[in-house]
Structure formats: structure tokens, C-alpha cells
Chain A
Amino acid sequence: MNAIAKLSRRGFLSVSAVAGAFTLGIRAPMAQGQNIAAAGAATPEVNAWVVIKPDDTVVIRIARSEMGQGTLTGLAQLVAEELDCDWAKVTTEYPTPGQNLARSRVWGDFSTGGSRGIRESNEYVRKGGAAARMMLVQAAATGWNVPVSECKAAASVVTHQPSGRTMRYGQLAEAAAKLTPPTDIPLRNPAEWHLAGKPVPRLDTIAKTNGSQVYGIDLTMPGMLNASIRDCPVFGGKVKSFDAAAALARPGVRKVVQVGDSALAVVAETWWQANSALDALSIVWDEGPNASLSSETIAAMLTEGLGAAEAFIGNKAGDARAALGRAAKTVEAVYNFPFQNHATMEPMNATAIWKADRCEVWCPTQNGEASLAACAEAAGLRPQQCEVHKVHLGGGFGRRGWQDYVRQAVAIAKEMPGTPVKLVWSREEDMLHGRYHPITACKLTAGLDAEGRLEALHMRISGQSIIAGIAPQMLQGGVDSRVFQGLAQGGAEGAFGYGIPNLLIDHAMRNTHVPPGFWRGVNVNQNAVYLECFIDEVALAAGKDPLEFRRAMLRGAPKHLAVLNAVAEKGGWGTPAPAGRHRGLAAIMGYGSYVAACAEVSVAADGEVTVHRIVAATDPGHAVNPQQIAAQIEGSFAYGLTAALHGEITIKGGRVEQENFDTYPMMRLAEMPAVESIVMPSGGFWGGVGEPTIAVAAPAVLNAVFAATGKRVRSLPLKAADLKT
């Protein structure tokens, strides 16, 4: 709030860029220099990233959102590594989006998605820590009147080495803060890290074991009212009529608010009262133009796209069509991947206070700056008149990059000026109004030569584009290049690894009325299923072992090969599996990291699949916290296998059919396989860790299921397949 008065034109422009940043994926350059004075801070900051209190407490500022992925701890480790502070005295805080706006985006991008939290901010946060350390050392040297070169920092203490004199950071911070920040800031070689790269415990665990961690849904404030909302279950429909009087007659109900033309909210003293009163509204919907659409109509559209003459090309080598025509043997298969809901454990929620000249929002968000832009838009105010306070997220997985719940909360609060209103979605609302993992199908055609080598591969993807659904202005000549995640022709993000002389990967864009979104792993999920299961099919047709078949095609892709070899070795590929168990492999590159898995499954006579063991390898370049990477790998198998085994959102009458966990089942502890993680950073690059391994979960298991049953499951979820013997 104190930052608002200092707003500059540049600040205003940067928030305009922010409004587009989420959807456009464009990152406005962050401000140069980090010595912009904090307006009214009680303790002077050494720089924007580091505040040191007189008692030596180190407050490290974290711009990205913590939603379970461990970024908060990892980013703090990177700052503390260069700061040379006492890790035991480190705490963290989130700067607000409004402060970032007022300070020319000194903290850079707040967006937390695409496994970018650490890999894209590591350099400037490390420089923040290093610059602060240099200033603290300079302050000590100046005070002692000795050369900086004679002073050394360690564990929050600066020592003048010749004399042995010492000063604590807490004693130096005020003087350091007054110095001109350095411009040449050398960073430590990761090989010399002593804190980063270590499996230190998370900073946020204790509050999560005693109920004291506050999530957005837990917020309370004086005079606060609670709201629940119901949006038209048919996408594109509207409110036709409703009985406000009946809802207002219910206990505790204060107001009924129409939000846009498609939703109604009830505001009451308690959330339970508000949610219960929604039924009393007896809403009649105008279901609109999509009411006749269903999973069947969508499937027919995708099938048409598989054979369509025109498609966007994502990767090409040689002449695949000609090579397929002359192949000694061809293999063809069609795969499908359904819609998925994020189903974060904490449903969408936001708390807002609206006044004529000011609006504040408290919310769990993956993109605080996009939340600020959404708040301003819904409030009818300038961003400088608004503020967003980030609250801990009960899961994100991509869902909380989308700001619909923020806009709704502000729209409701606007009808009750000055009163704080907390909007919480019911689970049913959350299931019916997700931003769903896109639906696609893929037809793969392979051509083998007489020696069983893969001479030609055509992958035709047909289906939904996320970018077309959320930011069509970002399409390049109509192409959504993100559809080809993991299949790209080179690049640092997700390069196709196999050397295949004649290759064509193309996309027939077939968009649905179901709103798409980024769902943990995004398009690498289905692309890995399509590619890695089909490669197994082709290996079988060539009469070759799936591992050897892959190895022969990965000679030019040593990092892909290394993770594959690692899981094959630890997974025991080529050696007998325990009785009744069978193995499957998968490998791919995503989010800048190389990942592979070896799954071990058994399939009972009644068709029940048990996933016993997963060996998973990841090469993320640099590993900031190996035990948190292991936790992300373990978790990604729960998320990925939930989708593979159970997950399917279906459409009937234009709306989602699944309304809660009874019809959208989740993997639970009973089904969770052992996960053995191999974290094998090879250095020299920065890859993500939150998402990549999820992509190999499904194909490794599906390949193992084939090994167990001889049945090739090409349509997910697995529960729909008949595997009885």
C-alpha cells in the first residue's frame, strides 16, 4: 500500500505488460539495479532480495509462489548460498505485486508455472544474494578502514582475517544498505556451492503439520462475509432466471449477486449458509450454443483431424511420406488422451475488499501480477489503486495461473463496498469450471527398412490448442508451437531425441468449447504417451528389444540416452523381474530437463493393474535441492498415474459430467508405487523439476502393461481397458 504513492509512468506501463504477461508468455525486462529504497520499511533492506535485522535474522524475498513444489526453499538456498549467511536464521517473505509494480518490477516475474521458478530466476536471485554480501563486506571493511580483500564473509559474520576482528551481519546491515550497489557481481561456480545443491529440509514444513499454515480458504477478517458461486454448467451458457427472494429468506444470507451474465453468487454470514442457499435460487439456465456437444461429437472432430489434408508442421526431417511409401514394413496406431481437471485439494478462492478508490485481494495465485491486473480490471480501478496479497496455495498444478476466481471475488465485493468478502468455490464448482488439460488424439505411422530400422515416422496430432483457447494472439501464423512440447526440432526446452531420417510431426488444430489450461506437464504428457508407447510398438514389429531399439536412435542425444540408461540399469532391464511382474520404459525431454522411467507392474487375471515400482531419472542440469527434486519426482508419479489409471473428464449436454471425487477418482496410498529417484545433474544448464517426470509415468506403465498382457492400451484412462485374461 505504501508503494502506491511512488508510482511512476514506467510502473504503469509495466503492469500493462504484466496483464499480458501471463497469457502472452512475454516477460517484460526487470528493473536494472536493486537499490530502490523500500518505502517505509521498518528494517532497512540491504537490497530488494535481502533484509537483515539487528538480531541477524535474514529475510529473503521470494517472488515466485510456493504451492508445494519447494521453490520457496530452493530460491532461498540460492540467495543464501551467495549471501554466505547463517541458514538457521533465514526466513522468507513474499513481496506484493503492487510493490513490484511501484518498484519497476525489481523482483522480476512473479509467474509460477512451466517449471520455471528456479531455472529462470536463478541468476538474478543469486546476484541479489551476492550483491548484498559484497555490500556487507564493504561496510565492515570501511568501518575497520581495511581493504575488502582482507575480509571474508561466512555464516552471517564478516571477519578481518589479518586481525581476527569480526562483525555480524545484523550489525552491518544498516551501513551496507547505504552503499552504492556493485555492478560487477561474480557468481560462485555451482561446483563450489556449500548450501545450494544440498538436501536441506524445507522451510515451510512445521506449520503444515499442526494446522497453523494459513491458506486462502482460511482467511478471516473483521466483518468478513462469505460467498459461494454457481456458474452456468454448460460452457457458454447464461443465467435466464432465478428466485433471489427464496435464497434471501435462508439463514444468514445477506445478498444475491449476479456475476457477469453466466453466474450467481450468494453472500452470507458463513460459507455453509451461502453455499446451501445456492440451491434455493432455482436458477434456470439459457444453455446457449454448446448444449448439444458431447464427448462423442468431440471425438468425431478429432478423428476427422487425424486424416485431414492440412496441418501445422512442428518438426520435419527428410521426406516422411515418401519414405513411408517405400518402407519394407509399416506400423500404424491411433492413441487418445482425454480432458483432465487439476483438482487442487484447496478449491479456488479469493477474498476481496472493494472501495470506490481502492481494491485489495488476498488469494492463492500462481501469478500475483496477473491477479493484480485481474483485480484492477474487475474493480474498474487502475492497477495502482489495487493490491494483491499472495496467500499460500493448497496446490496449483497450473490452475491458479488463471484468474477467473479473482475477477469473481472482486465483482462480488464491488456490490458490497467496504465489506471484505471471501469467495470459496465448492468442489462441484471447481470440477465444472476448470481449465482442463486439452484433449487430443494422435495417429502414428512408422516405416521400417529391411533391417528393422526406423526410417520414417509420421505423428499426426489432432486436437485442442491451449494457446488458441487462452491467448489466440500468441499463435504464430496460426501455429501453437507448444503443442509440440517434447517433440521439438532441437532447442533447450524439449527437443525430440531420436535420430529418424524421415520425420514429420504435425498438428491438425481442432479446438473444443471446453476451456483448456496448463495442467502439470501440459502437452508433454500426451506427447510422451504417443511417442514412447508407439516406439515400443515399432520395436516389437522390428523384432528388437525396446531398450536396444531406443539406444540405437539416441546416439546423437547423449543426455536423453544417459537418463534412459540410468533407469534401465537400476530398474534391472534385461534381468528377470520378480514373479508376475513386467517392465516398461519411457524417456523424453521436457521443461529443459531429461527424464526417463522404468515401471514394474503386474496385471491380475481379473485385469487389475498394480504398479509396484518406478525407477525415475532426471537430469535437470543443476540440482538446487536434491531431496526436493526427489519429492517432485515421487509426486509427479502420483499425479501422472492418477490421470493414466483413472482420470477422464467427459462431456455431455455441453457440460462436464464429473462433479466430485466419487466420479473423478484419484490415486490413493493403496495404489501408490514405490518410486526410486535418480537425480543426476550433469551441469551446464538449468532445467525444471516440477513437471518433466510426470510425462514418463503413463507411457512407462502402459509399456509394462503390454509386456504383462500383450494388450496395447492406446486410450486413457487405463481403467476403461479390458485386461482380463
Chain B
Amino acid sequence: MAKLNVNGRVVEVQAEDDTPLLWVIREQLGMTGTKYGCGVAQCGACTVHLDGVATRSCALPLSAVTEAQKIVTIEGLSPNNDHPLQKAWVALDVPQCGYCQSGMLMAAAALLAENPKPSEADIRGTVTNICRCGTYNRVLAGIQQAAGTNATSPGARG
């Protein structure tokens, strides 16, 4: 029995030690907003915050996480869907299929927490998640809108 601190609550989970945190969140805790995409920390669909740091949970075994570490999933990003990024995502119609967007939002939120006014290069270099629908330009514009740095229209590239 392991204890985890997820979205501000301490929960007990029963899973084999080598189970990736992703699958503990999805299957033991029943929170399915965090997605499986590759299992090898390539695509970022499984991104959560671990003590505020964007972390790919598909490659992090349960045994490597302690109760002292604060895990935040997409379900815990904001109480009322009102994180500035979520508002920008809605305003710009960012998602298409939407599958990668939980991870995108969590990666972007960690970036803004660390760097509230990121440059375009900061964003391009930090948000490395894969989106097959190709929402990248709206992701970029959404982050800039949330950060209040958007001089450019969706799709712009310096």
C-alpha cells in the first residue's frame, strides 16, 4: 500500500511497485484526464506536475514517488476550469481531437509557473509534447495569451 498526494488529497493505492504513476492515476485513482500515448516519455500526453515540475508520468514508477511529493493532474489544475491557460484554450478553440491537450496544458502551466513571461523561443523549446492533429500554433498563441505576451496572431512564427 503506497500513499500519494494527488490534487491536494492523500490517497492510498495498491499497485505493484513498478507500475508507472500514469497507470496508478488512471486505473487505481480513476482519473482519466491524464493520457497514455507512448509509455516511453516521448509524447507528453501523460504530463502531470510533481512538486510543480512538468513530469511524464508514464515512465515514473510508483516506487519513485513519495507521499511528500505533491502531484497535480489536469483535474486539479484549477477549481473551476479557470486557469488562464484553460480560458485561453477555450477562447482560441485550441483543441481538435483533444487527446494530447491535458498534457499540453500541464506542460504549459508548469512553464508559466516557472517563467510567467516566456519568449516564443522559451515556449517552443519547453513545450515538447506531440499533437498529431497539429494544434501547435494555437497552443503557442494560447500560452502567449495566458501570459499576456501575445503580439502575434495564431500561427505566427518569428
Q: How large is the interface on B (under 10, 10 to 19, 20 to 34, 35 or more residues)?
A: 35 or more
Contacts of B39 in A (CB 8 A): 426-428, 660
B155 contacts which of A206, A424, A634, A667 (Cβ < 8 Å)? A634
A345 contacts which of B35, B81, B156 (Cβ < 8 Å)? B35
The yes or no answer to A142 lying at the interface (CB within 8 A) is no
Per the bound structure, the CA–CA distance linking A393 and B39 in Å amounts to: 19
Per the bound structure, the CA–CA distance linking A393 and B133 in Å amounts to: 12
Contacts of A667 in B (CB 8 A): 136
A209-B136 in contact (CB<8A)? no
B40 contacts which of A395, A634, A662, A670 (Cβ < 8 Å)? A662
A68-B155 in contact (CB<8A)? no
A212-B97 in contact (CB<8A)? no
A661-B16 in contact (CB<8A)? no
Contacts of B135 in A (CB 8 A): 631, 634-635, 638
A394-B134 in contact (CB<8A)? no
A211-B75 in contact (CB<8A)? yes
Q: How far is the CB of A194 from chain B (nearest CB, A)?
A: 20
Q: How far is the CB of B134 from chain A (nearest CB, A)?
A: 3
Chain A residues in contact with chain B, CB under 8 A? Answer: 67-70, 201-202, 204-215, 217-218, 220, 226, 251, 270-273, 276, 343-347, 392-397, 424, 426-428, 612-613, 627-628, 631, 634-639, 660-662, 666-670, 672-677
A345-B43 in contact (CB<8A)? yes
Contacts of A270 in B (CB 8 A): 15, 19, 23, 27-28
Query: Contacts A660-B39, A661-B43 hold; do A68 and B81 have CB atoms under 8 A apart?
Result: no
- Using an 8 Å CB-CB cutoff, how does the interface string of B125-140 with A read, 1 for contact, 0 for none? 1011111111111111
B130-A395 in contact (CB<8A)? no
Which chain B residues (93-136) contact chain A, with CB distance < 8 Å?
93-102, 105, 123-125, 127-136
A211-B33 in contact (CB<8A)? yes
B99-A202 in contact (CB<8A)? no
Contacts of B93 in A (CB 8 A): 201-202, 205, 627-628, 631
Nearest-CB residue, chain A, relative to B16: A251
The yes or no answer to B86 lying at the interface (CB within 8 A) is yes
A638 contacts which of B28, B74, B136 (Cβ < 8 Å)? B136
Per the bound structure, the CA–CA distance linking A343 and B94 in Å amounts to: 20
Query: Contacts A271-B23, A660-B38 hold; do A634 and B90 have CB atoms under 8 A apart?
Result: no
- Using an 8 Å CB-CB cutoff, how does the interface string of B59-80 with A read, 1 for contact, 0 for none? 0000000000000011101100
Can you list 28 A-B pairs, Cβ within 8 angstroms, ordered by A? Answer: A68-B95, A69-B96, A205-B89, A205-B90, A208-B89, A220-B32, A272-B16, A272-B19, A344-B132, A345-B99, A345-B100, A345-B130, A345-B132, A392-B97, A394-B99, A426-B39, A427-B40, A634-B136, A634-B155, A636-B134, A638-B131, A638-B133, A662-B40, A666-B130, A669-B128, A669-B139, A669-B140, A672-B140
Q: How many A-B residue pairs have CB under 8 A?
A: 195
Most chain A beta-carbon contacts within 10 A, residue among B36, B127, B156: B36
A668-B130 in contact (CB<8A)? yes
Contacts of B90 in A (CB 8 A): 201, 205-206, 209
Query: Beyond the given A208-B89, A634-B135, could you list 12 further A-B residue pairs with CB under 8 A, ordered by the A residue number?
Result: A205-B90, A218-B26, A251-B16, A270-B23, A272-B23, A343-B132, A345-B35, A347-B37, A395-B97, A660-B39, A662-B42, A672-B157
B74 contacts which of A211, A273, A428 (Cβ < 8 Å)? A211
Most chain B beta-carbon contacts within 10 A, residue among A208, A424, A628: A208
The 9 closest A-B pairs by CB, nearest first: A211-B33, A638-B134, A68-B97, A208-B98, A635-B134, A394-B99, A68-B96, A674-B157, A211-B74
Q: How far is the CB of B56 from chain A (nearest CB, A)?
A: 12
Contacts of B124 in A (CB 8 A): 669-670, 672
Per the bound structure, the CA–CA distance linking A258 and B138 in Å amounts to: 44
A395 contacts which of B99, B128, B157 (Cβ < 8 Å)? B99
Contacts of B127 in A (CB 8 A): 669
Per the bound structure, the CA–CA distance linking A212 and B101 in Å amounts to: 11
Q: How far is the CB of B76 from chain A (nearest CB, A)?
A: 9
Nearest-CB residue, chain B, relative to A272: B23
Which chain B residues (2-45) contact chain A, with CB distance < 8 Å?
15-16, 18-20, 23, 26-28, 30-40, 42-43, 45
Contacts of B73 in A (CB 8 A): 211
B89-A211 in contact (CB<8A)? no
Per the bound structure, the CA–CA distance linking A426 and B128 in Å amounts to: 21
Q: How far is the CB of A649 from chain B (nearest CB, A)?
A: 15
